[in-house]
Amino acid sequence: MARLVLATHNAHKVGELRAVLAPVVPGLDPADVVSAGELGAPSPVEDGLSFAANALIKARAVCAATGLPAVADDSGLAVDVLGGAPGIFSARWAGSHGDDRANLALLLEQLGDIAPEHRGAQFTCAAALVTPGGFEHVEEGALRGSLASAPRGTNGFGYDPVLVPEGETRTCAELSPEEKNAISHRGQAFRALAPWIAKVLSGEIA
């Protein structure tokens, strides 16, 4: 079976993708799913104007660098009263890329006077599959919820400590990894993409 490379240096995402693919790709060896970090593939500049565009940029770059089918995702938080922001700028909302604490603090400060009923938001994820033969496919997932007034929980990362999913009283960071994967935007997008990945790994799609 062909190997699949995930365009990330985040081991958590690799484990998540393996867990999603296992039920739909019979006989999948976890070792068949590797990360760009493990293969030493460079990280491209994400200058797309949407989650889907950025996911494709990453998948195309890693596919070209490794010669393997590549999967990439791009995700972020869209806040209703901010017109969908931070959106594609979620990871660098406070200026420095990946500074979760600063990003959270800035967002909560901006929403300080917003009443609970107007704190609607959603996580959005686009997952892209690109093959050396030129096949490309993108799927998206979303997790609706509302924003807490202060961070809660120690699981997850990014904005997980402030998004309370619809029907829940806990934030995403208070859910177990299994609970979060079952409803998360990334889990939805990966599961939708999984049948296409299975076709690529079986040789049905080049």
Q: How far, in Å, CA of 187 to CA of 75, rounded?
A: 11
10 Å CB burial of residue 206 (0-12, 13-18, 19+) is exposed
Kind of pairing, strands 163-165 and 136-147? Answer: antiparallel
Q: How far, in Å, CA of 88 to CA of 47, rounded?
A: 10
* 38's tokens: 């493990």
Q: How far, in Å, CA of 184 to CA of 186, rounded?
A: 5
For 33, half-sphere exposure in the C-beta direction (CA atoms, 13 angstrom radius) is 27
Answer yes or no: 74 catalytic.
yes
- The single residue of 29, 47, 74, 100 carrying the catalytic annotation is 74
Nearest C-alpha neighbor of 143 from the set 166, 171, 177: 166
Give SS3 for 40.
Answer: coil
The set of catalytic residues is 74
